[in-house]
Amino acid sequence: MANGKVNTKIKDMNIECTDSKRKKLYDFLDKRLVLYFYPKDMTPGCTTESIEFNESLSKIKKLKANVVGVSRDKINSHEKFIDKHGFKFPLIADTAEKLCRSLDVIKEKSLYGRKYMGVDRSTFIIDKTGKILHSWRGVKVKGHVEEVLAKLKELK
């Protein structure tokens, strides 16, 4: 189990994705993969982060990488999210939290004093063999996509 640590390999697994041709996680590894986890479709921070990844998609593709977002939302929620904002990359519906748990992004969170288990905003760069090259935990949305671009250039 990778647990999201750098230099460990992620496990290939079946996925439910808005790109119906992609049935397994490794289907995205024809290039490096920027895999980002976010708490919920249509929420302010998650929308901003996804829009910024979308706006930088051509730069990311020039750096020979794919982008895929992951949350615990259902596929129909993802499809509405994509349609509303015109995202040009797919989203994975991890309703059973298999992918989230394999990369250890489910954490205890607190909202108005109430504790609950939620997705810790995280991003991973994964190479074509499935090895994690870099990871960010507890991501702050502002400036994050620029950090990802800088790291992709550095890893080239």
Task: Return the bridge partners of 14, or none.
Answer: 24
Beta strands at 65-71 and 122-126: parallel, antiparallel or unpaired: unpaired
Residue 43, both tokens: 């929420």
- Asked, for residue 2, whether it belongs to a domain, the answer is no
Which domain does 129 fall in, by range? 25-155
User: What is the pTM for the complete model shown?
Assistant: 0.95
Question: Cα dist. 144→1, 30, 65, 104, 140 in Å?
Answer: 26, 24, 16, 20, 7
CATH of the domain at 72: 3.40.30.10
For 81: left if phi > 0, alpha if psi spans -120 to 50, otherwise beta; the answer is alpha
- Asked, for residue 135, whether it belongs to a domain, the answer is yes
Known catalytic residues are 46
Q: How far apart are CA 77 and CA 93, in angstroms?
A: 9
Q: What is the pLDDT of residue 111?
A: 85
- Asked, for residue 109, whether it belongs to a domain, the answer is yes
Predicted confidence (pLDDT) per residue in 116-154, tens digit: 999 999 999 999 999 999 999 999 999 999 999 999 999
Residue 110 CB neighbour total at 10 angstroms: 9
Domain count, the chain: 1
Q: How far apart are CA 111 and CA 114, in angstroms?
A: 5
Residue 73, both tokens: 């939302």
pLDDT at 1 over 90: no
Contact 83, 43 (CB under 8 A): no
Predicted confidence (pLDDT) per residue in 37-68, tens digit: 999 999 999 999 999 999 999 999 999 999 99
- Asked, for residue 147, whether it belongs to a domain, the answer is yes
Q: What is the pLDDT of residue 2?
A: 54
- Asked, for residue 126, whether it belongs to a domain, the answer is yes
